[in-house]
Structure 1
Amino acid sequence: MARRSLKASILGIQKAKKAFQVREWTQEYLASEVGLETRQPIWKFFTGKPIERQNFMEICFQLGLDWQEIAELPTQNLPTENKQTLNDCWDINTLVQVVRSRRSEKIQAQCATMRLLDIAQPVELKDIYVNVSILNSITSQRWLDIFELQDLVQEFDYFGLGEVCQERVSAMLSVATYPKLMILGKPGSGKTTFLQYIAQQCNQGKFLSDKVPIFIRLKNFAEDATEIGDFSLLNYIIQELAYFDICDQQIQTLLAQGRLLILLDGLDEVPEDDSAQIIKKIRKLSEEYYKNQFIITCRIAAHQYRFEGFTEVEIADFDLSQIEAFVQKWFVNISRNDREKGQAKARQFMQKLQLSENQQIRELAVTPLLLNLACCVFQARSDFPARRVELYKQGFHILLNRWDEARNIKRDKIRRHLSLPHKVKLLSEIAAITFKQERYFFTKSNVRQYIADYLSKLLTDEVKSEVLQLSSQTVLKSFEAHGLLVQRAQGVYSFSHLTFQEYLVARNIVTHSEPEIVEQKLLWLLNHLHDPRWHKIFLLTAGMLRDATEFLELIKQHADGLVGFDEQLQEFFIWLNQKSLSVKAPYKSAAIRAFYLSLVLVEDLTLSDNLAFSLAIDPSVANHLAPDLAIDLALSRALSLSQTLPCNSPLERVFALNFALPDEQTLVSKPELQRSLQQLKEELPMPDKGTQRLKEWWNANGSQTWAKKLRFVMLRNCNIGHQWQFSEQQKKVLKQYYAANQLLVDCLKSSCEVTTFVREEILETLLLPVSRTSTYVLEDYKCADVYQYGA
């Protein structure tokens, strides 16, 4: 007896869908052509569910199909030899090879290329992929409290905090070890790329060669499932294999014997409405067909449901060798026609990246996403931008919205209640509050309260506190999902990068609709001028202002105010100016003053001996130090060495004083100084006199006497070596003055918005006696603390 209902086979559904798409019909139109009152039977037909036999045949007729080729007919009436063919045409290993071969082009199409943000053309995966590592345990610091985490900041690199004391192992080794794996990672950490790489390696028989890779983007699956009303992952996989003429029994054989490598990418990208359904289907499939290998990727913050039997690992940040490998491949790939040029640009990038002034860029460039941004910026100018704030701004907005928008992912439902500008402003206020309180870490309850306070100001109607708290939790999860806030331990959060926190603090200062409020905040910021922790905030603030003139003048006046009322310090700066004017050197006047200021501070304040301040003002100082400066530098270093010789110094160290003094060639233009120094050299114990002569020299207080004579020669011939006898308070003030002026120069170097005239005026009047630079001195900035949350 003929069955009263029929359903389409997997292969039949594929053929029917193709015919349906060619006609460009809707399901409603097809239903009317068949004579049906609703489209429900049409939907069942395309999802493989049984429908009335007559309706089934009529649908096939309208689509121009033979219903017998579309229907799933019973196999019990097949001849015995046909059954045998279905089951035993190949052994399982041959079947795996055949299926992989048939689907090879499909896997290549899915996984062989990738798109990089801001790069126009797709990039071959093999040309950009870098072997990734995973953290062996993601729970080692889960139960640390907020104070223990704060201590870790002092001991470890803050930006590697999530990986402190955790072993890094090969990600491929983890895949080979664990049959069910949940790979977690930050936004842009390379989760999808890694899954594509696994699929390709398996497809080519280089890795897990006994399996058939099935690569599924869960976002796409959810969209297709919603359209056809079928969320069964099993049906999805069956249809995928049936399209390549793999029959149902062969598919069942592969599943039953665990020969599928099921790669499920982007669980966090599934729309919230479909999430529970997708999770349910993944769980069901992994439990029913437990012999197969499963890998799921998900952002850390979106990871809530734990699948039974799955091992959870986290993709580690790039280390320096991985950064270098990525950079090498990136620039070579971009310079397709000139490999040597790409390699040279990569070397240049790495050299620049490791400079001290690029520390913040290094701290960001630990994920492929943000490292790609740094490469794009460097490619355009062969250097990193002087206005670092633009790079940080781009990195921040990539995580907040651009990365998801580029892939058409709608991650949260708060957008209509909290627009993008409000998100940025809220994060800026959280950053400002916590940074001001010297807190890199904050509790979940605190951050939710900050969010609730902000939301309450946006809502016009009264809202119950429970609703506000619920909303604050939603917003917090959104910030986590975007990778801007990170849960470092149970209930303890921080910004994902200190650079982002600093950027947002500066943004909170400069972005206000009322200029008076901005001015008050700038005045308040000056209270932190002598706190090194705030120096990056000053640089970022200067870089964000539309016109930084007033801000820079405030810094300069504040610095001058430190020394303006001290007569002895003013005498010192009068000497500093006179000394700088007396030397011959092709440098900016301020650079020469900075040079001699550094020499004095090295001796009297025991600061580090370097020329960074002078070089910052005039880089040409590094090319070839002018003779006058070279002589004074050598004399100052020789004096410092003679004063620090211990009483039991070896003969070699005493003899080194000979080499510390300027050489004869440098002294050609100063014959009197040359004669005096030659006499001093002759007073030193010589190697051929042995240790006995050295002891006699020491017993006669030779070291101190020699140092005094050297100082006298320096004073008489070079006007350096003065003993200023600064008090402890004056030393403190001078250190603050030095640091403030160095910060001012760093702000100017950051390409802040000031006119050339203002820039030159500030530099020309730098480090001069106060009377020469200003008609007034700002008093101590003890203005009211206007820099508060919501100000």
Structure 2
Amino acid sequence: MTGLEPFVAPLVSIMLDVLKDSGKKESEGLIARLMNRDVGKDFQDVVFKAAGQYIKSYTKRHGELKVLGMRDPVKLDDVFTTVQLLGEDEVQQFATIDDLEKLYRKADQRLLRYRSKERQDGITVASQKQFLMVLGAPGAGKSTFLRKIGLESFKGKKGNFKHQAIPVLLELKKFTESKIDLKALIEAEFTTCGFPKPKEFTESALEKGKLLILLDGLDEVPSANVNSVIDAIQDFVDRYDKNRYIASCRTAAYRYNFKRFSDVILSEFDDEQIQQFINNWFRSEEDKQAGTAALCWELLKRDENKAAKELAHSPILLTFLCLTYDKSQTFANNRSGLYKKALRILLEEWAAEKRIMRQAIYEGLSVELEEVLLSEIACEGFEADRLFIPQSQLVERIKKFLSSNLNAPKQLSGEQVLDAIAIQQGILVERVEDVYSLSHLTLQEYLTARYIYAHGQVSQMVEKYLTDERWREVFLLTSGLMVDRGSDELLLEMHKTAKQYARHPKVKALLQWADKVTAGSSGNFKPAAKRAVAIGIARAIHIAIDSNRAFRDIAKGIVRYIAIDRAIAIDRAIATIAAIDRAIAKDIAIAITIETLSTRPIARIIARDNKLEKSGIFTELELSQFTNQLQDLKSAEEESNITLINKVAELVKSAYLEAFHLTEELITYNDEESQALNKYLYSIDILLKCKKEAARLSPATWDAIEAELLLPPHD
């Protein structure tokens, strides 16, 4: 038993129908000739055997995936994720490149491609369209989709493909001769599997429209043969137009509108498809028991992995991420290493795995040299805050690069290089006519970081962009790239700039308070961690007593400052303090908000204040008066006495400020002061994250930085 037996019967039915029809037309048709030889049951055995062999051959050749260095192949059916197709009208036309920039920013997402809500199930569309051209980026899953359609057709009425037809998959990259005989290639598929009278069978099947012909990879045809292949396909489709045809091609390479074909675009995966793919990938019993798929998906959704998640919208890069997670149960300790590998997959590994012949223009243009070129393009656009680049500008940039590099091949033209990068690799993508962008914002950020580090522009980056959140990923990637010299230079420059932000009078006053109330305290925590908790509590109190803030914004408002605490402290106990801080902000806000009549937050505050006193973070912390006021507030709320609640709530605010030696003036900010404080705290936050990303960092450098974190600057 091979597991393929249920698929044999539908195929046998089609084959017998083809043979029967052939017998009707010819007095010496296939069945007639076979019956005259009195084969009887032997004839049925031949058909069944041929059908079984054909399904086995197709499944072996096209029903398994083994890519990117996988140890073992996986069944396509096991990992296939429902694909979505976009219609022909999804190629958006914009009046100017500025319109495209505005559309991206309005969408507020990292994906650079316009994402339409009008999607259709891929197999459903394939069932509806007799002639279908499937377009998509490299690694988008075009070949996998065609192979899946073939597998579905074997299932007959039990499958999702709604037509009874024999699938024949032809890989167009093998069309290396100028003369193409499609019928002979189809006949060869049947001959190999022992079909009776394969030449006559092929002709009859074509005449009767019993074949599903899958033409995979029009873009992979050697350039010298493209025109002859297109002509051969067009003529063949016109001659045998009762059959069904599905072809595939990379979007950037598609310049030929097959007159009968409906063009559709293979959409990038959405979150639901990503999760489905991960669930399918980690489907072994061991993974099910360990909950590997759920853990992988939850990790990918974390904010710190949003750039990696952007890559996951591409099936080939999602496969890479699953392989990475399978090996280490994480995506990467160093994200720059992860993105470097993803870039190399697109630059060379994917084409090599598919055995695609590189065009002659690549002779002399090494992958390393191409990375340098792409880094220049990426950084120039990123610094100008331009994500989309006119074709003319790109061509000029490429020409300039080639002419200024002694070792760059001089015979190449800018147009040729751009076409090759767009068509064969998909790194640069034509979003609308004559307008390009990098395929992923993540790759643009990585290439920008690579350029910054390679050209010694770290200090300039810090000076210009330290508090620009758009550059956040670039800072983190740069830190990870600094392996040779270490990240010391970057972190020292960031710390130096952060200290300049701390000179703002309001920021300086808050830091002086935090140092004063925690210096010399008994708690067994690092001084910087104590100061971080103090600042977090001050901010929490400010948020809580600001009646104009909605409750839902409170947690969001302090998450950044809690992250500072977590990053500084190695001690596990700091996580507990962070939880106390977060809870205080929420509960105080509820307790002193008149509209919220609930005693539960008050009870939680009392319990947590006791823990906070015992932590020893503050030098002097006397919360007994505040606790008494909270008890009074609790009684007032139980009585629903609004007048009393108003009165006691004010006392609660005053008592809490007094307990921490705070004044309302110290934690009240106008817009300019608030921006200054946010800028300073953001710079500390990104500094700590860069420390975490560093592949190499001197302990002495970090000890010196940490000792001064969140301290007021010296006059």
Classify the TM-score, shorter chain: 0.7 to 0.9
Q: 1:721 to 1:621 in 2, by over 3 A?
A: farther
2:61 counterpart of 1:110: yes
- Bigger mean CA deviation after superposition, 348-357 or 159-168: 159-168
> Partner residue of 2:473?
536
Q: 1:81 to 1:353 in 2, by over 3 A?
A: closer
2:418 counterpart of 1:476: yes
Helix, strand or coil at the partner of 1:106: helix
- 2:537 aligned residue (576, 599, 602): 599
Per-residue Cα deviation, 1:388-418 (whole angstroms, up to 9, x for no partner): 1111111111001111112321233221242
> Partner residue of 2:363?
416
Matches within 5 A, 1:296-695: 296-332=247-283, 338-341=286-289, 344-458=291-405, 471-481=413-423, 482-512=425-455, 518=456, 520-546=457-483, 547-564=486-503, 569-581=507-519, 583-602=521-540, 608-610=557-559, 611-618=562-569, 620=571, 625-626=576-577, 645=593, 649-650=594-595, 652=597, 658-659=602-603, 661-663=605-607, 666=611, 673-679=623-629, 681-682=631-632, 686-687=636-637, 689-690=639-640, 693-695=641-643
Q: Distance in 1 between matches of 2:331 and 2:381?
A: 29
Q: Distance in 1 between matches of 2:580 and 2:132?
A: 67
Matches within 5 A, 1:102-181: 103-137=54-88, 139-143=90-94, 145-156=96-107, 158-181=109-132
2:710 counterpart of 1:710: no
Look at both structures and tell me which one has the larger radius of gyration over its CA atoms: 1
> Is the 2:324–2:331 contact (alpha carbons within 8 Å) kept by the matching residues of 1?
yes
Q: 1:348 to 1:567 in 2, by over 3 A?
A: closer
Helix, strand or coil at the partner of 1:770: coil
> Partner residue of 2:682?
739
- Bigger mean CA deviation after superposition, 405-414 or 600-609: 600-609
Could you tell me which runs of 5 or more consecutive residues in structure 2 were left unpaired when the two chains were aligned.
Answer: 1-25, 547-555, 615-619
Letter in structure 2 aligned against 1:192: S
CA positional deviation for 1:263 = 0.8
Letter in structure 1 aligned against 2:184: N
Letter in structure 1 aligned against 2:518: S
Q: 1:175 to 1:581 in 2, by over 3 A?
A: same
- Bigger mean CA deviation after superposition, 265-274 or 405-414: 405-414
Per-residue Cα deviation, 1:719-776 (whole angstroms, up to 9, x for no partner): 34563266654443322111111110000111331123333332233112334xxxxx
Per-residue Cα deviation, 1:668-707 (whole angstroms, up to 9, x for no partner): 86996324531453267724645xx424765xxx267425
* Cα RMSD (Å): 3.5
Q: Distance in 2 between matches of 1:666 and 1:84?
A: 90
Letter in structure 1 aligned against 2:698: T
Matches within 5 A, 1:739-778: 739-771=682-714
CA positional deviation for 1:521 = 4.8
Q: 1:296 to 1:728 in 2, by over 3 A?
A: closer
Per-residue Cα deviation, 1:450-479 (whole angstroms, up to 9, x for no partner): 22222222379998xxx97xx222211122
Could you tell me which runs of 5 or more consecutive residues in structure 1 were left unpaired when the two chains were aligned.
Answer: 1-78, 513-517, 772-776, 778-791
> Partner residue of 2:12?
none
CA positional deviation for 1:239 = 3.4
> Is the 2:531–2:710 contact (alpha carbons within 8 Å) kept by the matching residues of 1?
yes
Q: 1:554 to 1:539 in 2, by over 3 A?
A: same
Q: 1:84 to 1:697 in 2, by over 3 A?
A: closer
TM superposition score normalised by structure 1: 0.75
Letter in structure 2 aligned against 1:273: A
Q: Distance in 1 between matches of 2:232 and 2:35?
A: 30
CA positional deviation for 1:83 = 8.3
Helix, strand or coil at the partner of 2:467: coil
Letter in structure 1 aligned against 2:501: L
CA positional deviation for 1:437 = 0.9
Q: Distance in 2 between matches of 1:502 and 1:327?
A: 25
Letter in structure 1 aligned against 2:512: I
Q: Distance in 2 between matches of 1:435 and 1:174?
A: 39
Letter in structure 2 aligned against 1:364: L
CA positional deviation for 1:176 = 0.5
Q: Distance in 1 between matches of 2:187 and 2:505?
A: 89
Q: Distance in 2 between matches of 1:563 and 1:373?
A: 43
CA positional deviation for 1:107 = 1.6
CA positional deviation for 1:95 = 12
- 1:250 aligned residue (201, 208, 215): 201
Per-residue Cα deviation, 1:589-646 (whole angstroms, up to 9, x for no partner): 32222222233345558880232221222265677635xx887777666665677x4x
> Is the 1:593–1:767 contact (alpha carbons within 8 Å) kept by the matching residues of 2?
yes
Q: Distance in 2 between matches of 1:457 and 1:538?
A: 28
- Residue identity (%): 27
> Is the 1:509–1:521 contact (alpha carbons within 8 Å) kept by the matching residues of 2?
yes
Letter in structure 2 aligned against 1:592: K
